[in-house]
Amino acid sequence: MCTRVVNRIIPKSKYNYKRYSNKDSKCTTAGILVIGDEILKGQVMDTNSKFLAQELHKLGVKLKKISVVPDDIEDISAEVRLVSNKFDYILTTGGIGPTHDDLTYEAVAHAFGESLYLNSDLKEICMRFYKSIKSLNAGMKLAYIPKSSRLHYATVDGGRLLYPNVSVHNVYMFPGIPELLRKSFLSVGPVLFNSTRRFFSKVVYCTMEECEIVKELEILVQEFPEVEFGCYPKLYDSVYKVKVTIESCNEEATLKAYEKLLDLIPKNCIVNFDDL
């Protein structure tokens, strides 16, 4: 049967025949910190980390970790200190707003031994948005940011955000409301998060069981150490049983690994399928 090549963002799972250690040092890396009691209680579904993972992948940034922490200054600051030392970029989502449990700015300041201060630009923005000149207005909390903060207004299309993304060192703080997060990241993400690399991906769907292609995958892992292979079983599906993904920052290596896989798997076990 014929094959179909699908280039797209590939999610990772526990079924991962991975040999990526010699590549990670060359990749731009990132961690995501999801902040909110509502996530940990199961009251709200976290869609932000999935969105950010997909968008970072498009930009050639390798996501290495997703953490979820409660609305607690010590917990947030401890995780910020931990992950900011490991990856090129840290993206936080949640905890930015006027209420008592919006603690991201304070926690990030605490993580780096800084204090909060009233930023004059943000003060003007908050006064206009909340239609108040009172310094004690709850909305003015959004104007108090860590001392070394940088404000990012510039958008990918040459425009300007009404309320900027705020960053401290390599920590970039985004809102938790999914609609606001998406709008903010799509506007400034391509400007802020740079990588000289891109990921090249191929996909093969086959009717073999996962245990039946272990040997073939091991051959590929040994022959192509710069390529990442993923094996994803599909239960109770009438079309295919396993999806195999092939990905690296080297287009030629990805293609060669893909062609090798096609040689190793019986032709009658490969199916034409697109699950987009």
List the single range of 3-12, 90-99, 208-217 with lowest mean pLDDT.
3-12
* pLDDT band for position 9 (cuts 50, 70, 90): very low
Segment holding 218, helix H or strand E: helix 214-223
- The pLDDT of residue 101 is 92
pTM of the model: 0.85
* pLDDT band for position 26 (cuts 50, 70, 90): confident
Q: Which residues of 34-54 are buried (b: 16+ CB within 10 A; e: fewer)?
A: bbbebbeeeeeebebbebbbe
Does the pLDDT value for residue 68 go beyond 60? yes
Residue carrying the six token digits 């893909």: 258
For the chain, which residues make up each domain, given as ranges? 1-26+199-276, 28-192
Report pLDDT digits (tens) over 139-183: 889 999 999 999 999 999 999 999 999 999 999 999 999 999 999
- The pLDDT of residue 27 is 85
Does the pLDDT value for residue 130 go beyond 80? yes
Structure tokens at 15: 């079924």
Taking CA atoms, 33 is separated from 190, 216, 265, in Å, by: 19, 37, 40
d(CA 145, CA 165): 11
d(CA 219, CA 57): 27
Amino acid identity of 166?
V
Q: What separation, in Å, do the N-terminal and C-terminal C-alpha atoms of the chain show? A: 20
d(CA 146, CA 168): 7
* pLDDT band for position 136 (cuts 50, 70, 90): low
β-pairing, 228-233 vs 16-17, is: antiparallel
d(CA 5, CA 25): 28
Per CATH, the number for 28-192 is 3.40.980.10
Beta-carbon neighbour count of residue 136 at 10 Å?
7
Q: What percent of the chain has pLDDT over 70?
A: 89
d(CA 98, CA 159): 26
Contacts of 42 (CB under 8 A, 6+ apart): none
Amino acid identity of 82?
L
Q: Which CATH architecture has domain 1-26+199-276?
A: 2-Layer Sandwich (3.30)
